């Protein structure tokens, strides 16, 4: 047996020394293997050469099978690596991404590693990850709902995030607005959130807008984005965002929370779904829908809704699964219950009736 292995090594070494390609060398080893098997079958029992060949036919077959399995596994790994690499080819690195010391190739390697759990998801894959990278979303409000939504969007690799809020971080915010830290108290919420996003994923381009959203600003920002996420607190702002999103034909993911309950839907009249005003045409009477400051809110509740918002964003941008167009998801945190309600466009809606 040792003789055969030495012969194989000699063939491999000599062929390598003469610069013969690796595949040809493997073929030569394969021929030697077949010759050994053939001799063991043909030679009579007791032949002197059988001693040199060593082992039985069965043992050689086991060795060959093991070699084949290792070769197959290596081929599979190589293909998976190639697939992962080709999946991120064409991903344009924005100016803010990475450090100048990292070349484009190194950046792609880093992206493959960072988003590997997305790349192996059938519904996301390389194409979905590129869509996330090329997407631009507007997030209204860096509060309880905006905090987890922003963190997950950044972690998921959404390429551009514009963030609007004119609030400062207050001590009473920290019970639920997890993107801000105690040392950020007094700082503008958009600056504090932008810092956290950059620390999590420097590949995301954040544009913080430290202003109160009004009609002019909404009309300026919304037409530039692929999706609007509204987690703001208060009916007036939510109605304003809805009007501007309908006007621009941009889908609006809207979530709200109060005390122990939350709701979320994707408003998109341009694609058959209702707008916010179809469901809530007029501002609720004072006291019926208290803000968090007025009625209180369980800290993790906006976390649940904000995280759902990030997940729905991922689905909307990649085309995965079934989104919340025409469906309103209600979550009752106090009893741990969810309910899904079909919602429809309202004929004569003052906001989307003209579409």
Residues of this chain that bind Zn ion (CB under 5 A): 275, 277-278, 349, 351-352
Nearer to Zn ion, 54 or 353 (CB): 353
Smallest separation (angstroms) from Zn ion to the CB of 233: 22
Smallest separation (angstroms) from Zn ion to the CB of 255: 18
User: What tokens appear for 311 in the block?
Assistant: 């997940």
* Contact predicate 329/264, CB 8 Å: yes
Smallest separation (angstroms) from Zn ion to the CB of 124: 31
Nearer to Zn ion, 150 or 349 (CB): 349
Nearest CA among 303, 165, 299, 172 for reference residue 233: 165
Q: What are the DSSP calls for 140-151, one per residue?
A: E--STTHHHHHH
Nearer to Zn ion, 193 or 352 (CB): 352
Distance CA 314, CA 322 (A): 11
Nearer to Zn ion, 206 or 324 (CB): 324
Smallest separation (angstroms) from Zn ion to the CB of 351: 5
Smallest separation (angstroms) from Zn ion to the CB of 100: 48
Nearer to Zn ion, 215 or 294 (CB): 215
Nearer to Zn ion, 153 or 277 (CB): 277
Question: Residue 7, exposed/middle/buried by CB under 10 A (0-12, 13-18, 19+)?
Answer: middle
Nearer to Zn ion, 44 or 354 (CB): 354
Smallest separation (angstroms) from Zn ion to the CB of 218: 17
Smallest separation (angstroms) from Zn ion to the CB of 98: 43
Supply the Cα-derived Rg of the chain in whole angstroms.
31
Helices (H), the chain: 2-17, 22-42, 48-53, 57-88, 104-114, 116-119, 125-134, 146-156, 189-200, 215-221, 235-248, 276-279, 292-295, 300-318
Could you tell me which residues are beta bridge partners of residue 338? Answer: 331
Distance CA 7, CA 352 (A): 82
Q: Count how many residues are written for the chain.
A: 355
Nearer to Zn ion, 60 or 267 (CB): 267
Smallest separation (angstroms) from Zn ion to the CB of 285: 21
Task: Kindly state the DSSP code that residue 271 receives in the 8-state scheme.
Answer: G
Residues with Cβ within 8 Å of 352's Cβ and at least 6 positions away in sequence, in order, are 246, 269, 274, 275, 277, 278, 345
Smallest separation (angstroms) from Zn ion to the CB of 272: 12
Nearer to Zn ion, 204 or 250 (CB): 250
Distance CA 61, CA 185 (A): 72
């Amino acid at each position: 047996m040792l003789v055969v292995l030495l012969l194989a090594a000699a063939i491999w070494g000599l062929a390598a020394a003469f610069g013969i390609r690796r595949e040809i060398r493997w073929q030569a080893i394969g021929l030697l293997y077949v010759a050994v098997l053939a001799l063991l079958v043909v030679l009579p029992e007791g032949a002197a050469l059988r001693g040199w060949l060593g082992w039985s036919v069965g043992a050689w077959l086991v060795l060959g099978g093991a070699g084949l399995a290792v070769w197959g596994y290596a081929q599979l790994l190589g293909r998976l690596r190639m697939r992962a690499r080709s999946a991120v080819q064409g991903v344009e690195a924005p100016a803010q991404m990475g450090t100048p010391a990292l070349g484009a190739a190194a950046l792609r390697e880093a992206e493959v590693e960072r988003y590997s759990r997305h790349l192996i998801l059938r519904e996301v894959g390389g194409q979905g990850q590129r869509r996330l990278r090329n997407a631009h979303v507007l997030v209204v409000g860096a509060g309880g709902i905006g905090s987890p939504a922003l963190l997950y969007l950044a972690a998921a690799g959404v390429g551009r995030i514009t963030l609007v809020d004119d609030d400062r971080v207050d001590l009473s915010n920290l019970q639920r607005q997890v993107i801000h830290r105690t040392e950020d108290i007094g700082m503008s919420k958009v600056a504090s959130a932008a810092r956290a996003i950059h620390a999590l994923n420097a590949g995301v381009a954040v544009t913080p807008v430290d202003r109160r959203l009004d009609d002019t600003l909404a009309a300026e920002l919304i037409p530039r984005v692929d999706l609007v996420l509204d987690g703001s607190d208060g009916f007036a702002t939510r109605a304003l965002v809805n009007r501007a999103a309908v006007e621009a034909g941009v889908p609006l993911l809207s979530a709200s929370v109060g005390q122990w309950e939350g709701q979320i839907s994707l408003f998109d009249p341009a694609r058959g779904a209702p707008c916010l005003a179809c469901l809530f045409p007029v501002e609720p009477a004072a006291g019926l829908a208290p803000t968090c400051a007025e009625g209180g809110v369980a800290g993790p509740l906006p976390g649940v809704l904000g995280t759902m918002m990030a997940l729905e964003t991922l689905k909307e941008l990649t085309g995965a699964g079934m989104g919340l167009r025409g469906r309103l998801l209600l979550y009752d945190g106090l009893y741990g219950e969810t309910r899904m309600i079909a919602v429809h466009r309202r004929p004569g809606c003052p906001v989307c009736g003209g579409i």
